[in-house]
Chain A
């Protein structure tokens, strides 16, 4: 007797093909999101908001309604949608250049308002789609096309720690940083996104999950080296963890 143990989520388009570079983290996260939307049977009630960057082409992958947003404004578009359709499931899918750089003001205010939406922020510590320029989350010393000798703190300051700052906002129900470098932490990442989704479903407030993801093309590393860089270097600057979980507070 055969048992189906692995299938394509219904929330991904049957004829959709990921267009990401080899070793890129986006595909794993998009699949996790699609699996969770299937598990909660939310496909018919979901509106996803894309952003600007490698995160933009959601409608080419998801079998879901998608609204596009301009640079950094996805949480505003999500706010408008959720306030009009409070019974729908609304999430934004953004990168660090979008959610933590040009749109961090919007991210923070959305968190403070406690909007009942979820943000998944892919942090690959650079502007991936435009060719690897330094973003607000770029590590000190990191070589990018705009910091060819490495980011110097005395010139451009220090990396922004999005998940920790979002956690400080009273309207935030859940904020965490995860990685997808091993099977174990991919499972943990899925559980974190599940928590962030559940805070929306239960109406507890804003959910935010920052996912450290590889960008081998712009890091000029192989996919394997990129994963090692996340585990060995990036996690020391952007540590993994749950920075806020109101459901845990309730239990305590």
Chain B
């Protein structure tokens, strides 16, 4: 299939349709409303379900209903809207209900603004919901990757019976660039062993998130954490760019990753050995891979459009193997390759003089 010029939000919506998404439930919020508009225009004519729900609470709980039947379903929202979904995301992890959530981040906290930001890394990864749980989180940096990761989100949701979040931001949602819609490349698992469709010639089933008997909740959580461990072993992905000889490694996720890549190219032109480590899966975080990278470099510079959220996971992975610096802007402030370049030059000049490694 040939490349087409497509807007990020619409690419995500079309990719969901290609992935076999049967239902979209959503509530409008900038900067992702085009996803709902696209779904509203296309799903009914395909005989699939589109509902503008009364709230984000309703949207995600409709996704739960669809998920309990083993049907591919999706919702999308932004920042404060995703905040309203946290109770349900926790419940989905507990009851092992599949579903896809697209989060197109805007400025926060509070209602914030409608400018692009990455302030919801904690919200996506560390959870605003209750209890021990993990959402699989995928982080696209281009429209093409948004398409590919939307496909992967639907597959992983069914494969692991867990919510999967596509964590994008307002830049990616609103930008147009050429991209190709390949075929949905996955074989999805059989859902008939667990999905609810009526107790026909089999014992009744239930998919619930309340487990009162003593020890039941702990046992269930332990079992689900074994699943998370399997996800970490089998699904972790990242992009490494010019890492082989890098003395300074940039870490960045999402659209900041592509801005950082431009900065790496600028630095290389000036003879500085700079590389990029960009996690594609945020959970599972490429912890071991980043630690190996840290052992072979002099310094890491973490770049984010927030006050330093992935930074905690970067430091945890590096675990003192090299110093970790942070540079970011927040709540709609943007990073440019030139700004990053300035920071690179400042840090690179200090590399040779450093005598001891440590976390600073």
Contact = CB atoms under 8 A, between A and B. Distances in A.
Interface of A: 13, 43-47, 49-50, 56, 58-59, 62-71, 73, 76-85, 88-89, 105-106, 109, 113
Interface of B: 22-23, 25, 49, 51, 53-55, 57-59, 61-69, 71, 73, 87-88, 91, 95, 196-201, 204-210
Contact of A109 (B54, B63, B210): B54
A62 B65 contact: no
Given A76-B65, A78-B65, A80-B25, A65 B204 contact: yes
A70 B131 CA distance: 15
A47 B196 contact: yes
Nearest to B88: A70
Nearest to A63: B204
A81 B57 contact: no
B51 A44 contact: no
Contacts of A56: 210
Contact of A84 (B22, B54, B57): B22
B58 A76 contact: yes
Given A70-B87, A106-B58, A65 B205 contact: yes
Contact of A80 (B62, B87, B200, B210): B62
Contacts of B64: 67, 69, 73, 76-77, 80
Contacts of B209: 68, 70
Contacts of A80: 23, 25, 61-69, 73
Nearest to A83: B49
B127 to A, nearest CB: 15
Contacts of B49: 83-84
A215 B64 CA distance: 31
B58 A47 contact: no
Contact of A68 (B23, B199, B207): B207
B62 A76 contact: yes
Contacts of A64: 198-199, 204
A67 B68 contact: yes
> Which of A44, A49, A84 is most buried by chain B, counting CB atoms within 10 A of its CB?
A84
B62 to A, nearest CB: 4
Contact of A46 (B55, B69, B88, B198): B198
Given A65-B199, A66-B208, 11 more contacts: A49-B65, A66-B207, A67-B208, A68-B209, A70-B88, A73-B58, A76-B57, A80-B63, A81-B69, A84-B66, A109-B54
Contacts of B59: 76
A79 B209 CA distance: 19
Contacts of A65: 196-199, 204-206
A200 to B, nearest CB: 14
Nearest to A69: B61
Contacts of A77: 61-62, 64-65, 68
> Which of B22, B49, B62 is most buried by chain A, counting CB atoms within 10 A of its CB?
B62
B284 to A, nearest CB: 26
21 contacts: A44-B198, A46-B199, A47-B197, A58-B206, A65-B205, A66-B207, A67-B208, A68-B208, A68-B209, A69-B61, A70-B91, A71-B87, A77-B61, A77-B68, A78-B65, A79-B51, A80-B67, A80-B68, A80-B69, A81-B65, A109-B58
A101 B321 CA distance: 54
A66 B65 contact: no
Nearest to B23: A83
3 nearest A-B residue pairs (beta carbon): A80-B65, A68-B208, A76-B61
Given A76-B61, A80-B66, A83-B49, A68 B55 contact: no
Contacts of A88: 197-198
B58 A44 contact: no
A45 B201 CA distance: 11
A8 B208 CA distance: 25
A120 to B, nearest CB: 17
Given A67-B196, A79-B51, A80-B23, A73 B208 contact: no
A81 B196 contact: yes
Contacts of A73: 57-58, 61, 64, 88
A105 B53 CA distance: 11
Nearest to B73: A80
A238 to B, nearest CB: 25
B66 A81 contact: yes
> Which of A44, A76, A106 is most buried by chain B, counting CB atoms within 10 A of its CB?
A76
B340 to A, nearest CB: 43
B197 A85 contact: yes
Nearest to A65: B196
A46 B207 CA distance: 14
B69 to A, nearest CB: 4
A83 B51 contact: yes
B68 A81 contact: yes
B61 A44 contact: no
Contact of A67 (B53, B88, B201, B207): B207
Contacts of A69: 61, 64
Nearest to B199: A65
B58 A84 contact: no
Contacts of B25: 80
A47 B196 CA distance: 7
Contacts of A58: 206
A84 B69 contact: yes
A43 B208 CA distance: 19
